[in-house]
Every structure is written in structure tokens, then in C-alpha cells.
């Protein structure tokens, strides 16, 4: 009874193994996704064979016939080929596997392994391993299956594994390859590409952003009328001044002394001339000195008049009503200046303009009358509209070591807000001619590429 029961139980187990084998073969042939089959091989094979760890290898693309790469590991979603375990597995398979052998399963254990891989065997794998190559009917090696556990493998399990790996290799080879559909066969992509190309041809207005500042329009320059030292500045920056109001004064000590000396010199010359005239009535020889002394009187009078004129320029006055524009009075007090040196400007606060510094890298084609919109930092919600009156052809180095072109723009007087002040700064948008949208988008990349490539 015991023998018959054992025999029946063994037959039942073999029947279950065969059914499981058939189910796995059927499942492998029905897989259609590239990543699903490797996952099934390392995880679903456990239904047929008892193991703790399964690693699926694929044939490497290099020229070494025994080179294998880890593709999938059981119970691990993503394989990192830089980990020590994966590197050890690939090195071990390259040493143990012989591609010239038949496609049968082979058993390995730590005791039989070479010394250079046996030292880390128990760290990265279990003691008993079976290796089975995935060989197609035509003899092509696609990869291999590494199964590891604590107990030795028997012959029956190797037979089942060889049969199953043949099916896995056939299913892997028959896996449909991803077919790339030509781009223009996708209807939506084709129409989308055509629409995009047409959109890139839409004409748009070229524009550029640049720093802008409110400056006076046609200001009056107040310069030094003589060589001297400024004694005091009687106005402050942005003060309203009236016609004839004193703006600053020169030191007048030397000038007054020069005027006094000139007055004395004139008096002496006139006295000598008078004495010579009186002496001429008494002696005819003194008539010749009268003409010479008359010339000296005229020279002394001219020097006196010049000293008086220079002394009259000590107080520098405003030529008309406006606003005094300069930086700081302390910059001028006690400073010697030359005739014609600019000290300040007098401007009409109602007559203002825009001064734009257009960087060279953002320069666009501009013409007189081009539209400008200025967004001031002090009042960003009320942009100012104007038009370009002059574009300078030569670039200048602006503050911040930026090479830029200077643009002057005029503003309509009737549209100016009351609060706009000279000196306000912001950002201006300058509009140029109409260009295709493609040129507007790729202008700067093309310019950078041209600078790099040199064409």
C-alpha cells in the first residue's frame, strides 16, 4: 500500500509539473510587450521550479561570445548595472559560461568556482546555481537564465528547465519588434507640422527691449564763463529757477584786486597824459610825448574795462525759467574750472524726451519714426508712447560696461502725465519692421550660432 501510494503521489507531482510547464510555455508565447517577457521569466518560473533568486542575462553587443549583461532580476523592478552585485554576476558568467558547449543546463556551486569569483560568491549569490542558455532553434544565443538556491539541483529539474528555456528563447526571438511609423503617415502629426510651418510664416513686428531714461528736450547748457574757482552753488539739483536767478558764484578776490589795479593804472596813465598836454603849451618838444601817453591811457582803459567785465561774470545767472539739472553741489564747490566747462543744465520740465540705450546684441533695423513704448519703474501701469527721432550709428560704452546704440525718442506733449519727472528710468520696447515669426524666434540663436561657427 505504501509503495502504491508513493508511486501515485509521484505520478501526480509529475503530472502537476507537466501542466505547469505547459501553462508557462503558453503564457510565454502570448506575451506581446518587450518588457513583460523578461519579468515573467524571472518571476513566473518559480511556479515550476523552487528557487530563491533568478537573473535573466542578455547577450552583450560587444564581440566577446561569452559576454552577458544582466537584464532582469527577480523581485527587482529596475536593474542598476553599476552595483557590485551586478558587476560580479556579469564577470562570473563570463568566466563560467562556455559558448561552444551545448545548450544544456549546467550546475555550479561556490566550491567549484575559481578563486577570483568564489570569494564573493556567498555575498552576492546562494551556494547552488543552475545556468541555462537561451538558445534559439537556429543556434543563436539570446541570453541565459541564472537560478540560485540553498539546496542542490536534481536531474529532473534540469530537464524541465532546459525545456522551458527553449520555449523562452523561441518566445523572445518571436517577440514583435517595435515598428517605427513614418512621420508623415501620422495624420495628426502631419497636419500639426503643416500648421506649425504656416504659423512660423506669420508676419510679426520685430521688437527689442532696452533701458530708457527721461531726459530734457533741448536743455540750455550752463558752462563756466571764465577760468576760476567756484565759491558756492546757490541752487540744488531739480530746483525750479527763474530768469536772471544766480546759479553759482566764482571766487572774486583776485578778480576784484585785478579790477582795482586796473583802475589805478588808468588813473596814473590819465595823469601823465594831462601833465604832458600842459607841458606842450610851454615847450614844443613835449608834443611828441602826448601821443604816446594817449596810447597808454587807452591801453589802461581797455585793461580796466576787461577786468570790470570779468568781475561782472562772477555771478552766473539763469537765461530762462526752468529746472536746474546737475548731480551734487559739493562736486563743484572749491573746484577750479576752465572756460566753457559744463556745470549744469536748465531745462523746461514740460519738454521731455526719451533716451534709449539699445544693446548691440539686441539691435534691430530701425527707421526714424519707429514706435516706442516706455514702461517707467516709478509708474509701470501707465506706459508712454513715442517715436524715434534719431538713432546713433556708433555704439557707446554705457554704464555697466554695456556696448549700446543711443536712440532719441520724442513724446507727444498733450499725452504726458503730470507726474512724469526728468531722470525717471525704466524699460523701453522699440518696434521695428515686420518679419516672419520664425525669424523673430530664431534670430538670436542664429546670431549666436554664426558667432560660434564663423559664417
Residue ranges of the domains in the chain?
A: 2-173, 220-343, 348-453
Biggest alpha carbon distance in the chain? 186
User: pLDDT tens across 253-288, in order?
Assistant: 888 888 888 888 888 888 887 887 777 667 666 666
Q: What is the mean pLDDT of residues 309-316?
A: 86
The pLDDT of residue 393 is: 81
Residue 307 grid cell? 577786468
Range in 9-18, 378-387, 397-406, 421-430 with the lowest mean pLDDT: 9-18
User: pLDDT tens across 404-449, in order?
Assistant: 888 899 888 776 777 788 888 999 999 888 888 888 888 878 877 7
Query: What distance in Å separates the CA atoms of residue 409 and residue 389, rounded to the nearest whole number?
Result: 5
Query: What distance in Å separates the CA atoms of residue 258 and residue 263, rounded to the nearest whole number?
Result: 9
Q: What is the mean pLDDT of residues 162-175?
A: 87
CA distances from 431 to 31, 57, 204, 210, 304 (A): 61, 63, 10, 11, 61
Query: What distance in Å separates the CA atoms of residue 336 and residue 340, rounded to the nearest whole number?
Result: 12
With the CA atoms of 35, 38, 39 and 42 taken in that order, what torsion angle do they form, in degrees rounded to the nearest 10?
A: -170
Q: What is the pTM of this model?
A: 0.49
Query: What distance in Å separates the CA atoms of residue 49 and residue 165, rounded to the nearest whole number?
Result: 12
Cell 507640422 belongs to residue: 193
The pLDDT of residue 102 is: 65
* Homologous superfamily in CATH for domain 2-173: GAF domain (3.30.450.40)
Average pLDDT over all residues of the chain: 83
User: pLDDT tens across 195-221, in order?
Assistant: 888 888 888 888 888 899 988 888 888
Q: Residue 333's closest CA among 250, 263, 439, 273?
A: 250
User: pLDDT tens across 177-186, in order?
Assistant: 655 556 556 6
Query: What distance in Å separates the CA atoms of residue 153 and residue 107, rounded to the nearest whole number?
Result: 7
* Residue 1 confidence (pLDDT) above 50: no
Query: What distance in Å separates the CA atoms of residue 215 and residue 201, rounded to the nearest whole number?
Result: 39
Cβ-Cβ contacts under 8 Å for 217 (sequence gap 6 or more) = 347, 348, 351, 352, 353, 410
CATH number of 348-453: 2.40.30.170
* Residue 157 confidence (pLDDT) above 50: yes
* Residue 233 confidence (pLDDT) above 50: yes
Q: Tell how far CA 59 is from the center of its chain.
A: 45
Amino acid at each position: 500500500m505504501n509503495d502504491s501510494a508513493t508511486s501515485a503521489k509521484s505520478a501526480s507531482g509529475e503530472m502537476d509539473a507537466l501542466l505547469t510547464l505547459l501553462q508557462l510555455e503558453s503564457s510565454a508565447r502570448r506575451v506581446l510587450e518587450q518588457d513583460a517577457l523578461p519579468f515573467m521569466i524571472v518571476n513566473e518560473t518559480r511556479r515550476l521550479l523552487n528557487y530563491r533568486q533568478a537573473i535573466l542575462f542578455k547577450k552583450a553587443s560587444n564581440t566577446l561570445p561569452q559576454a552577458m549583461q544582466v537584464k532582469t532580476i527577480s523581485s527587482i523592478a529596475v536593474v542598476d548595472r553599476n552595483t557590485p552585485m551586478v558587476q560580479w554576476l556579469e564577470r562570473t558568467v563570463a568566466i563560467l559560461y562556455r559558448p561552444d558547449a551545448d545548450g544544456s543546463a549546467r550546475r555550479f556551486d561556490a566550491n567549484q568556482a575559481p578563486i577570483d569569483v568564489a570569494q564573493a560568491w556567498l555575498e552576492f549569490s546562494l551556494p547552488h546555481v543552475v545556468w541555462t542558455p537561451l538558445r534559439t532553434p537556429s543556434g543563436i544565443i539570446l541570453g541565459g537564465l541564472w537560478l540560485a538556491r540553498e539546496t542542490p539541483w536534481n536531474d529532473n529539474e534540469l530537464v524541465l528547465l532546459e525545456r522551458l528555456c527553449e520555449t523562452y528563447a523561441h518566445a523572445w526571438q518571436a517577440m514583435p519588434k517595435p515598428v517605427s511609423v513614418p512621420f508623415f503617415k501620422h495624420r495628426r502629426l502631419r497636419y500639426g507640422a503643416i500648421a506649425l510651418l504656416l504659423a512660423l510664416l506669420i508676419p510679426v513686428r520685430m521688437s527689442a527691449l532696452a533701458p530708457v531714461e527721461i531726459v530734457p528736450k533741448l536743455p540750455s547748457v550752463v558752462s563756466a564763463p571764465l577760468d576760476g574757482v567756484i565759491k558756492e552753488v546757490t541752487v540744488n539739483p531739480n530746483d525750479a529757477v527763474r530768469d536772471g536767478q544766480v546759479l553759482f558764484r566764482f571766487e572774486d578776490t583776485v578778480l576784484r584786486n585785478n579790477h582795482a589795479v586796473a583802475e589805478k593804472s588808468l588813473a596814473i596813465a590819465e595823469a601823465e597824459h594831462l601833465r604832458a598836454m600842459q607841458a606842450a603849451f610851454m615847450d614844443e618838444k613835449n608834443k611828441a610825448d602826448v601821443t604816446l601817453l594817449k596810447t597808454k591811457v587807452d591801453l589802461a582803459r581797455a585793461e580796466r574795462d576787461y577786468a570790470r567785465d570779468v568781475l561782472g561774470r562772477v555771478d552766473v545767472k539763469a537765461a530762462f525759467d526752468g529746472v536746474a539739472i546737475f548731480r551734487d553741489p559739493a562736486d563743484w564747490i572749491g573746484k577750479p574750472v576752465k572756460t566753457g566747462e559744463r556745470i549744469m543744465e536748465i531745462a523746461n520740465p514740460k519738454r521731455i524726451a526719451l533716451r534709449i540705450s539699445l544693446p548691440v546684441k539686441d539691435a534691430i533695423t530701425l527707421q526714424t519714426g519707429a514706435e516706442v513704448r516706455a514702461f517707467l519703474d516709478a509708474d509701470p501701469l501707465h506706459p508712454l508712447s513715442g517715436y524715434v527721432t534719431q538713432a546713433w550709428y556708433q555704439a557707446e560704452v554705457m554704464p555697466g560696461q554695456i556696448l549700446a546704440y543711443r536712440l532719441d525718442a520724442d513724446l507727444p506733449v498733450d499725452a504726458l502725465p503730470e507726474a512724469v519727472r526728468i531722470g525717471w528710468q525704466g524699460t523701453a520696447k522699440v518696434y521695428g519692421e515686420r518679419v516672419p515669426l520664425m525669424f523673430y524666434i530664431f534670430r538670436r540663436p542664429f546670431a549666436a550660432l554664426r558667432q560660434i561657427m564663423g559664417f
